[in-house]
Structure 1
């Protein structure tokens, strides 16, 4: 739609980067407010957010490069131009999860209690991030005849031009916003630490797997082109989330 938000002289401010930054700041704000409510260290949250951001960007970009290497053969430097889009969520999520757990273990802070604090913020950040995807034209959908199909015309867009496509970026943004609302509501009613975080993983995995069916961009495929890489990862993460929810629930009940 609008890959470049505005220009200052010869410097372009890309809409994708703007929305990613907005999502990051909104996420930190909400997580800090929740930490304050729980008398939890806001410093831990802000420091954690920094490490999560760096590891998520690196993981998301590396995953994208490995799933679509042909896009970077002619211009390898494009690998570093993340403001053009091209970040795979699950690559970033896995990298951030590993980095986050290591950081929390070093700080000797309860892992699942902390992840519950930031879980709604992850969904909120994803909401803004997908708006950025829509603006850049990345992560676009398949062609459609539906009345709400969108047509990209900006030559800087990463989506095919002049055809109506499923606005899958907006589908994903809407799904993530609903997940955020649910997590924010149930944070006052959770029964054990880790419940919010793994509920997020489960809900995101389910919605992502369905939305992937309508994606039109190349994301790598598995099992004779039956599933995209993200679908397979989403299914695995969802199964893992169910296991963790059952495990943590039984662990809490056993302690009682």
Structure 2
């Protein structure tokens, strides 16, 4: 057992003088950079200027990080009220994806209205890249040994044919844990592949439906993964993310049905009909 414990990965990638650079931040930043690159490529095809996407990210990214942290801190206030200095330590983990999505959504809506860009189209362009970034970002949780599940056995993990470094990293607090970070990462990666495969099929997605399909896909998988985790944010004894997942899943279905009734709603592939040169 001692050999396995010694294989736990160091969450610190390197030091820049007194500054510790965490793998958590590197991995999340990598996911964001890839997401922006892919969004710019797709946006160009749909009539959205690259500069508009870059400008939007400059506002959306800070808002997403702040809201992700606030979301987490609010539901962990019993701890942070006595440790106010730790609120800013996002490099140690403790950011909530749903919080980041709420913050980013607000910025996207305001930004698109200001720049005369169809909001739903921008969300459609971004959605597949966001779920890919989420898939990558979960490996930051892996490096921090967080977002794990209930106790399990070594034989179970070996039965999943996981690489030894993953198995070793799942030995946490004296027991092997379900790699829920991996389940969600793979589910999100599959969602990315489904969305980019389907969105270029003619007359498949109306505007807004790529994004709403993303919401359905992610919330469906998150509901079940969340039920396996041991670090869930709770509200009145119920897992907050499960409540929100149900609300988002049902709301997305209703919105798709409602918007399909509007025959003037363009197809996703029609691009930006409000393009201003």
Deviations 1:201-241 (A, max 9, x none): 0110100001011101141134xx2x300110111011111
Alignment size in residue pairs: 248
- Alignment TM-score, normalising by the size of structure 2: 0.84
Unaligned runs of 5+ in 1: 154-158
Which range moved further: 64-73 or 144-153?
Answer: 144-153
Query: Does the 8 Å CA contact 2:259/2:265 hold for their aligned counterparts?
Result: no
Match of 1:95 in 2: 103
Alignment pair present for 1:81 and 2:93: no
Match of 2:220 among 203, 206, 220: 206
Query: Does the 8 Å CA contact 1:68/1:218 hold for their aligned counterparts?
Result: no
Residue 5 (structure 1) shift: 1.6
User: How far apart, in 2, do the equivalents of 1:201 and 1:208 lie?
Assistant: 10
Residue 200 (structure 1) shift: 0.3
User: How far apart, in 2, do the equivalents of 1:126 and 1:23 lie?
Assistant: 7
Alignment pair present for 1:229 and 2:243: no
Match of 1:72 in 2: 80
User: How far apart, in 1, do the equivalents of 2:168 and 2:233 lie?
Assistant: 21
Shift in CA distance, 69/255, structure 1 to aligned 2, threshold 3 Å: closer
Match of 2:54 among 46, 57, 62: 46
Match of 2:26 in 1: 18
Shift in CA distance, 74/151, structure 1 to aligned 2, threshold 3 Å: farther
Deviations 1:39-75 (A, max 9, x none): 3211111112222211111111001001112332442
Shift in CA distance, 160/221, structure 1 to aligned 2, threshold 3 Å: farther
Match of 1:156 in 2: none
Match of 1:217 in 2: 231
SS in 1 for 2:20: strand
Bigger Rg over Cα = 2
Residue 93 (structure 1) shift: 0.8
Residue 151 (structure 1) shift: 4.9
SS in 2 for 1:147: helix
User: How far apart, in 2, do the equivalents of 1:181 and 1:252 lie?
Assistant: 28
Residue 247 (structure 1) shift: 1.7
Match of 1:173 in 2: 185
Match of 1:252 among 263, 269, 272: 263
Alignment pair present for 1:196 and 2:202: no
Match of 1:163 in 2: 175
Root mean square deviation, CA, Å: 2.0
Unaligned runs of 5+ in 2: 1-8, 159-166, 268-277
- Alignment TM-score, normalising by the size of structure 1: 0.90
